[in-house]
Structures are given as C-alpha cells and as structure tokens.
C-alpha cells in the first residue's frame, strides 16, 4: 500500500507533543504510537488512490509521488489525526483545507481536474475508417486506394 506522506512531514504541521496526544491511546506510552500514525497515513494515501483510480488506475500508487499528492496526503492525515480527538463544538484546524482537498479529488475522480502534469489513463479509442469530406455532411472511406 502507498504512503504519500510521513511522520517527518506531519511534524512540520503538528508539534510533537500534540502528535503524541493525538496518537497515544490507552495505555499511555508518552510517545507517538507508530501503529496509529502509520494507519492514518495509509488511510490518507488510500483515500487519494481511490479518488484517482478512474483517471490514473494503472499509475497507482504514484511513484515518484507528485508534490501535490504529498501535500494532499499531509492535509488528509493531519485532519484525520485531529478528528480522532474531536471534542463536540471544537473545530478541526485542518477542516477547511481538507474540504478543499476533498473537492479537488472529487473533480479528479470525475476527470474534471488532473494531478500536476501526470498523463491521464489511456482509454481505448474506437478507430474509424470513415471521415467527413471537406464539403461537410457526406463521408468517404479513408484511406482510399482508388484514384
């Protein structure tokens, strides 16, 4: 399974003491719970893969990871880490950014947006031997062997 972000990247957004509080479940160890953190990272990456599968199916998981994908995975992971400890009425500080990422990925899923400059999936094309003539309306067989 893919991992588009890392603990190091998350520590660029969330202070260590907060990351410990967000992942350290009972019994308290006083350190980052790697199992929880790795699962959150995998889930964020899987969410991106699921939204991109229609357009980039054979290219998943992304490697090398486009910077926009890494940034989206970071946002999703941070959002989900804070969601684990939500208090009623408290706003997740990554909520708005997560909503933007979600909306963008929904557009990728429908083909209305693309990830960086990655080529999109090459769907089978129907080959036709009929083409319109230069005069419009009528068609002619192409290529023609007769002159």
**Digitized pLDDT (tens) for each residue of the chain, 147 residues in all:** 679 999 999 999 999 999 999 999 877 889 999 999 999 999 999 999 999 999 998 889 999 999 999 999 999 999 999 999 988 888 999 999 999 999 999 999 999 999 976 665 554 443 444 455 555 555 545 554 544
3-state secondary structure of 102: helix
Residue span of the structural domain in which 25 resides: 7-116
138 occurs within a structural domain: no
94 occurs within a structural domain: yes
Note if the pTM is more than 0.85.
Answer: no
Domains held by the chain: number: 1
73 occurs within a structural domain: yes
Question: Under 8 Å CB-to-CB from 110, ≥6 apart: which residues?
Answer: 54
Instruction: Give the Cα separation of 131 and 133 in Å (integer).
Output: 6
The whole-number pLDDT of residue 29 equals: 86
């Amino acid at each position: 399974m893919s991992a588009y972000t890392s603990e190091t990247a998350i520590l660029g957004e969330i202070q260590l003491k907060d990351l410990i509080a967000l992942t350290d479940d009972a019994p308290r160890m006083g350190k980052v719970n790697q199992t929880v953190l790795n699962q959150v990272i995998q889930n964020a990456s899987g969410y991106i893969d699921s939204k991109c599968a229609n357009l980039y199916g054979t290219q998943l998981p992304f490697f090398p990871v486009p910077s926009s994908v890494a940034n989206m995975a970071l946002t999703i992971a941070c959002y989900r880490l804070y969601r684990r400890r939500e208090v009623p009425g408290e706003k997740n500080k990554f909520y708005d950014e997560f909503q933007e990422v979600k909306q963008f990925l929904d557009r990728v899923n429908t083909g209305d947006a693309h990830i960086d400059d990655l080529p999109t999936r090459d769907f089978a094309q129907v080959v036709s031997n009929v083409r319109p003539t230069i005069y419009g309306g009528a068609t002619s067989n192409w290529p023609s062997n007769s002159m």
